[in-house]
Amino acid sequence: MSQRHPIQNDVTMLVTPVTLNRMAIFTNPAFASEAIDTLYRVQSLHPFFLYGFVIMPDHCHFLLRVVPPETISKIMNVYKSGMTFNLGIPKLWQSSFHIRCIENPFPALDYIHANPIRKGLSVTAETYPWSSAAGKWDLSEFGCI
């Protein structure tokens, strides 16, 4: 479940873990809620700056920055393992995850928040319940980037 990437921390990243075979597991509201709760539990154990996220039916997008000594590989390993355990689904994730290093976080955040609209899941970013655009969760300030 772990992946080694040449850049492990100190840059803003758009990270995308995808469910195995694109299972639409997060259409279940309890599972989508657990995906967010697990993200915050991982952040409390392995601190990182979280700027935005969205939980889609078959994947997640996280805009974050990892600070040393933590690494993105460690954080994603703990996240994916935790979700697998918490949901009791042994084969939940694809083995790898996608990372893009982001120079300007604002377009990336817009992309994340618009994802449910593009997929027809919501009319506005703010009304999609499993997104940081909904305004329900604490996020890091962009001044920290």
The residue extents of the domains of the chain are 12-144
130/48 Cα distance (integer angstroms): 20
The confidence score (pLDDT) of residue 141 equals 63
What are the two backbone dihedrals, phi and then psi, of residue 125, each rounded to the nearest 5 degrees? -65, -35
The confidence score (pLDDT) of residue 138 equals 81
The confidence score (pLDDT) of residue 74 equals 94
* Domain range 12-144, CATH class: alpha beta
91/22 Cα distance (integer angstroms): 11
- The encoded tokens of residue 103 equal 């120079």
pTM over 0.95: no
Nearest to 11 by CA among 133, 144, 141, 113: 144
Average pLDDT of each block of 10 consecutive residues along the chain (145 residues)? 60 96 98 97 95 97 93 95 96 94 93 97 97 87 52
**Residue 125 contacts residue 114 (beta carbons within 8 Å):** yes
60/32 Cα distance (integer angstroms): 10
The confidence score (pLDDT) of residue 6 equals 59
CA dihedral 39, 45, 49, 55 (to 10 degrees): 0
